[in-house]
Amino acid sequence: MDEGINKLKKLFDDSKNIVAFTGAGFSSESGIPTFRGVGGLWNEYDPMKYANIKYFSDDPSYYWSFFRDVRYSIIKNAKPNAAHYALVDFERKNKLKTVITQNIDGLHQMAGQSKVIELHGNSREIYCIDCSKVITMDEAFKILKYKLPPRCQYCDGILRPNTVFFGESLSQQKIEEAVFFTKNCDLFLAMGSSLVVTPASFLPQIAKAAKASLVIVNIDPTPIDYLADVVIHDKASKVLMHILKGS
């Protein structure tokens, strides 16, 4: 790990235009379980039922009972961890230009990050599929206490989270923005992502093709470790603390 850290420190010092790309592992130390890997949510809950648009359209109560009984208190109690705060520090030093995240927990913004591209949306925001009225997850939770699935208080439409379900497309505008920052960065730092689902798997390749350095920090190996200039199999917070001390 020390050799990897030293290489990353050097790349970090030489970079002016860093993009951080984060996945579920980045929030694991905030108490939010990842999907894959040890303790992953998918081992216990079937994603094809609770995070799939077809299933949600047929029966939204499955998602909403999962949200009410499991997900709400996890998100509600989660606080940003040291890794989130390190990225805020890099942004303030004008080294980091954007965070691109697959996470839907809103923790980067809660830590004070101003530029965040949320590729998969934000589960703290809820909207009505009929009239588009937006409410908070706390408001949805209150409705859920007496109505499953919860319905809009204005038009009685079904409520849904502002996240991308399996079977739905990502926002084209967000993808374009993420690709723009990726093509223009000099260091692409992928952290806490298994890098198996798109666009997680293709953004690092775009960065490499644009001659940026690629660093992967992830506890488990990823299928594109071979592409990276530096690979560190360790916790994101631990690695970023080392960089922060030396910056």
Which are the catalytic amino acids? 120
Nearest residue to ligand NAD, by Cβ distance, number only: 25
Measure the CA–CA gap between 12 and 212, rounded to whole angstroms: 12
Q: Which one of residues 102, 113, 182, 213 is an interface residue with ligand NAD (CB under 6 A)?
A: 102
Of residues 232, 179, 231, 230, the one with CA closest to residue 207? 179
Q: Which does 25 bind (CB under 5 to 8 A by kind): ligand NAD, Zn ion, none?
A: ligand NAD
Does residue 98 bind ligand NAD (CB under 6 A)?
no
Which residue(s) pair with 116 in the sheet?
99
Assess contact for 163 and 119: CB atoms under 8 A. no
Q: Which one of residues 193, 215, 216, 242 is an interface residue with ligand NAD (CB under 6 A)?
A: 193
The CA dihedral of 33, 35, 41, 44, to the nearest 10 degrees, is -160
Residues 11-50 close enough to bind ligand NAD by CB under 6 A: 23-25, 27-29, 32, 34-37, 40
Give 79's Cβ-side CA count (13 Å radius). Answer: 2
CB of 190 to ligand NAD, least distance (A): 9
Dig out the tokens for 233 from the structure: 């199999």
Does residue 158 bind ligand NAD (CB under 6 A)?
no
Helix 2-14 crosses helix 236-246 at what angle (to 10 degrees)?
50
Q: Which one of residues 138, 220, 223, 246 is an interface residue with ligand NAD (CB under 6 A)?
A: 220
Cα dist. 190→10, 69, 184 in Å? 17, 32, 15
Size of the site for ligand NAD (CB under 6 A): 29
Residues that bind ligand NAD (CB under 6 A): 23-25, 27-29, 32, 34-37, 40, 102-105, 120, 191-194, 197, 200, 217-220, 235-236
